[in-house]
């Protein structure tokens, strides 16, 4: 495995991937889009492999799309229902992971409320690959890959060109504006790293208490004037307030946050017609986005969900491949 490619490795952070490694995931995902369009959406490339799906925190999109992706690659899926597992009897994460690995697994897809959980699990497993499906406020790398893939396809469609084989060219130089609760958002951290690695100009804006002072280390800059930034952006990335992580304590009220940073109809009119608006979901209509804007044609939230399956197929396929096998893709 080379240090910058996902082939044969873990996906713990976007920092694990070089720009070429990032483009490789997008290109492999393009080939899986075709598989997802077939009447029989299944190929045998991971037949006989076993993937454990361990979600210690709530999820709709990530869990369903990773499990769908694994099944479409013909892998067997072990899905731990944490609420009815021995975790509830006090079993530690380490013992749970060692128990599951003893069953004979090839990969673990892990979501956990603790930042760093996926890195820790990668040190405990002997052979299994570890895929971070969101760890606390740290990172959500597969979501950022979905977002780049979705934006690349949307830009290609607007320009009437083919996204396949375009590498990162359609993202390079794009002005990306990420709005809202940056401090608590693992999606924001992975997006900043990924868009910056793709050559985009990344700016973040939100309440002073919800924007970290060190966004430069992720390749981003702080912005101050939302209306000006909206008019200039090629990509507008909306984020949910992370109430389960205490975001509400960092603003006087959700109403004030919504008034100052929510995308309502007036602000949506400032956004260019050819811009792309993303949201990782779940959206909270009436807080970070008005209900009308949530259904705006520039909003690609549904495409992001659809693209979750080919991107996660690509992640699982690459992580469980070797260079030799890649020749046969
Ligand atoms: N975007 C995202 O991670 O959604 P879920 O929490 O539903 O998986």
Q: Which residue has the CA at smallest separation from atom 6 of ligand 1?
A: 59
290 is a domain residue: yes
Q: Which residue has the CA at smallest separation from atom 3 of ligand 1?
A: 62
pLDDT at 282: 95
* Ligand 1, atom nearest to 280 Cα: 1
Q: DSSP label at 1? A: -
Average pLDDT for the chain: 95
Collapsed DSSP state (helix, strand, coil) of residue 235: strand
pLDDT at 322: 83
Give the residue among 143, 191, 141, 185 at the shortest CA–CA distance from 171.
Answer: 191
Distance (angstroms) between ligand 1 centre and the Cα of 324 equals 33
One domain for residues 51 and 71? yes
pLDDT band for 325, please (50, 70, 90 cuts).
low
pTM, two decimals, is: 0.95
- Radius of gyration of the CA atoms of the chain, in A: 19
One domain for residues 195 and 115? no
278 or 89, higher pLDDT: 278
One domain for residues 158 and 277? yes
Q: Does pLDDT of 320 surpass 80?
A: yes
Give the residue among 311, 29, 6 at the shortest CA–CA distance from 144.
Answer: 311
> How many domains does one find in the chain?
2
Percent of the chain at pLDDT exceeding 70: 97
pLDDT band for 326, please (50, 70, 90 cuts).
low
Q: DSSP label at 172? A: T
Best residue among 66, 134, 187, 237 to mutate for probing ligand 1's pocket (most ligand atoms within 8 Å of CB) is 134
One domain for residues 126 and 208? no
One domain for residues 33 and 132? yes
Residue range 59-87, pLDDT digits in tens = 999 999 999 999 999 999 999 988 888 88
Distance (angstroms) between ligand 1 centre and the Cα of 281 equals 6
The domain spanning residue 111 has which CATH number?
3.40.50.1370
324 is a domain residue: no
* Ligand 1, atom nearest to 133 Cα: 3
Residue range 200-212, pLDDT digits in tens = 999 999 999 999 9
8 is a domain residue: no
Q: Does pLDDT of 145 surpass 50?
A: yes
Listed in sequence order, the residues at least 6 apart from 93 whose beta carbon sits closer than 8 Å to its beta carbon are: 56, 87, 112, 117, 120, 121
Length of the chain: 329
Q: Does pLDDT of 118 surpass 60?
A: yes
Best residue among 57, 242, 282, 315 to mutate for probing ligand 1's pocket (most ligand atoms within 8 Å of CB) is 282
One domain for residues 119 and 230? no
One domain for residues 75 and 162? no
Best residue among 281, 306, 307, 309 to mutate for probing ligand 1's pocket (most ligand atoms within 8 Å of CB) is 281
One domain for residues 289 and 146? yes
Q: How far is CA 249 from the centre of its chain?
A: 25
* Ligand 1, atom nearest to 57 Cα: 6
6 is a domain residue: no
Q: How far apart are CA 88 and CA 108, in angstroms?
A: 20
How far apart, in Å, are the Cα atoms of 311 and each of 32, 64, 189?
8, 13, 19
Question: Ligand 1 site: residues with CB under 6 angstroms?
Answer: 59-62, 134, 140, 143, 280-282
Q: DSSP label at 175? A: E
One domain for residues 287 and 174? yes
What is the phi/psi pair of residue 269, to 5°? -70, -20
pLDDT band for 2, please (50, 70, 90 cuts).
very low
pLDDT band for 242, please (50, 70, 90 cuts).
confident
Domain range spanning residue 146?
A: 141-299
Distance (angstroms) between ligand 1 centre and the Cα of 160 equals 31
One domain for residues 209 and 93? no
Distance (angstroms) between ligand 1 centre and the Cα of 188 equals 13
Best residue among 54, 56, 60 to mutate for probing ligand 1's pocket (most ligand atoms within 8 Å of CB) is 60
Say which range, 27-36, 124-133, 166-175, 240-249, has the weakest mean pLDDT: 240-249
pLDDT at 20: 97
Distance (angstroms) between ligand 1 centre and the Cα of 143 equals 8
One domain for residues 164 and 284? yes
* Ligand 1, atom nearest to 111 Cα: 8
Percent of the chain at pLDDT exceeding 90: 90
Q: DSSP label at 247? A: G
One domain for residues 122 and 148? no
pLDDT at 3: 54
pLDDT band for 251, please (50, 70, 90 cuts).
confident
Q: Which residue has the CA at smallest separation from atom 5 of ligand 1?
A: 59
1 is a domain residue: no
4 is a domain residue: no
pLDDT at 323: 72
328 is a domain residue: no
9 is a domain residue: no
């Amino acid at each position: 495995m080379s240090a910058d490619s996902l082939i044969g490795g873990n996906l713990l952070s976007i920092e694990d991937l070089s720009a070429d490694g990032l483009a490789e995931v997008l290109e492999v995902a393009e080939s899986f889009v075709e598989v997802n369009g077939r009447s029989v959406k299944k190929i045998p490339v991971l037949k006989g492999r076993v993937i454990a799906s361990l979600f210690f925190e709530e999820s709709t999109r990530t869990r369903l799309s990773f499990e769908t992706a694994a099944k479409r690659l013909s892998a067997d899926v072990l899905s731990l229902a944490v609420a009815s597992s021995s975790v509830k009897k006090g079993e530690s994460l380490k013992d749970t992971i060692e128990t599951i690995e003893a069953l004979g697994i090839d990969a673990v897809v892990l979501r956990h409320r603790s930042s760093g959980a996926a890195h820790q699990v990668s040190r405990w497993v002997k052979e299994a690959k570890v895929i971070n499906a969101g760890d606390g406020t740290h990172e959500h790398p597969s979501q950022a890959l979905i977002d780049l893939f979705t934006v690349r396809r949307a830009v290609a469609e607007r320009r009437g060109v083919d996204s396949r084989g375009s590498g990162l060219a359609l993202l390079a130089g794009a002005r990306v504006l990420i709005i809202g609760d940056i401090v608590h958002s693992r999606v924001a951290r992975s997006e900043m790293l990924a868009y910056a690695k793709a050559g985009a100009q990344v700016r973040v804006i939100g309440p002073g208490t919800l924007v970290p002072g060190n966004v430069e280390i992720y390749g981003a800059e702080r912005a101050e004037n939302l209306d000006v930034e909206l008019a200039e952006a090629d990509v507008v990335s909306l984020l949910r307030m992370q109430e389960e992580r205490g975001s509400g304590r960092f603003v006087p009220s959700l109403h004030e946050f919504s008034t100052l940073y929510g995308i309502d109809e007036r602000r949506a009119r400032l956004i260019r017609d050819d811009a792309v608006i993303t949201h990782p979901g779940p959206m909270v209509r009436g807080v970070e986005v008005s209900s009308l804007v949530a259904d705006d044609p520039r909003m690609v939230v549904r495409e992001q969900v659809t693209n979750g399956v080919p991107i996660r197929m690509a992640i699982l396929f690459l992580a469980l491949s070797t260079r030799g096998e890649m020749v046969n893709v």
